[in-house]
Structure 1
Amino acid sequence: MVNWSDPTEIAKDSLVFQRLIFAIFGVCLWELFTTCGFEWSLITRRRQFRWPLVIFFFLSRYCILLAFIGLIISLSVTTQFPSQALYTFNGWAGNMTILCASTSLMLRTMALWERRKSVVIPLSLLCAAHWGLLYRTMFIVHAAWEETASACVVVQTSPGILNVTFFFTMGFDFVILCFTAVALISKHTARTDLWKLLFNDGLVYFLVTFSCNCIPAVLNILNLNSKILIFLLER
């Protein structure tokens, strides 16, 4: 049985966390470079802007990059710096990534349902609540510089609000997933290939989004140690 509170285990988790951040940052940069043709097609007007979807698309793409840059700074610096400002920025960038990604998926779902009021109204209400909740969690982390460790440490947070945030985000994405699945299935015959439904019609993106939000929700409830909590705060 792993003792998650053991200092050796916490140090190991910290190392894994740092390596994971750098690895995902590399994947993020690779994805941005390989898909930059989309941005260029918008700049050269070969592709039309679709308001407001394109705004959320760009925000989600570049806010995640800013969030990782902020994380890497917080992990790399060894001299005193304004820790609270950096953690607030990281919280803003990370939450904006989640909000814009979920909103983009919601707008696509509404389009699939041809903007029926029975779909638009409940999804819009859930989206408004989602924005309000995640906006609140941008400012719940209080950090300070620790002289002995020469690092920035989290001194206060609100686990209860985090639990609500994680599960609300997971539930919101699940509702979007269900609406999307029903809309796509109803537009196809019984002989429609599952691969086409998942990848050509984009259902896999909804599945991945929902699955990724399950992980922090479960880890936050388990509350294994401080390093994992920091990872969740900076997700």
Structure 2
Amino acid sequence: MNSNFRNFALWVVIFLLVLALVTLFQSPGQRGGGSDIAYSQLLSDADAGRITSVIISGPEISGTYTDGRNFSSYAPNDPNLVAKLQQKGVQITARPQSDSTPWFIAVLMNILPIALFIGAWVFLSRQMQNGAGRAMGFGKSKAKLLTEAHGRVTFDDVAGIDEAKEDLQEVVEFLRDPQKFQRLGGRIPRGVLLVGPPGTGKTLTARAVAGEANVPFFTISGS
């Protein structure tokens, strides 16, 4: 369900982006449905009386011929243009200059940054919940719980470290019954550091301590 929704949302975003690019790269004449003519052609058609009305929006001019056809043109800064059109009886409508951007493109541009921010926030939140801070913890791995289903390990499974086993017996007793030590004023140890080169059985020994005490064992890589 989540995979299908993500694919659908991706295709919607791609469609909107393609539609925005096509709309932005269209010429003004194509957007208005009329032909794009030169400014000199506009003056000639006005002198010939073939123009009935025009709409002036900054330098952009669109209008209608007497036969009903539409046109658009770009006018330079000509202060006499309005007077010339009035002399020929052309109906003139003035409007403020706009960026000619379609409304849905403007809405998309305003909503898209907010949507991206919300999407990134939701993604990071889920990553932190599902991966124990994996999104913000570079190089950290997820802790794994090893239960008896993975095989219980005791000191009998570890060979060659008799002195270490003796030193860890007190830790095993504390894990089995911590209240016995706390009644005597004992404190919870911060931990036990096992030192040795790779492959010497440090993790196996730690699993054996948890197996002897019958407590859960978590493993995590700190590299």
Q: Scaled by the length of structure 2, what TM-score is found?
A: 0.24
Q: Which has the higher contact order (CA 8 A, sep 6+)?
A: 1
Larger helix percent = 1
Q: Scaled by the length of structure 1, what TM-score is found?
A: 0.23
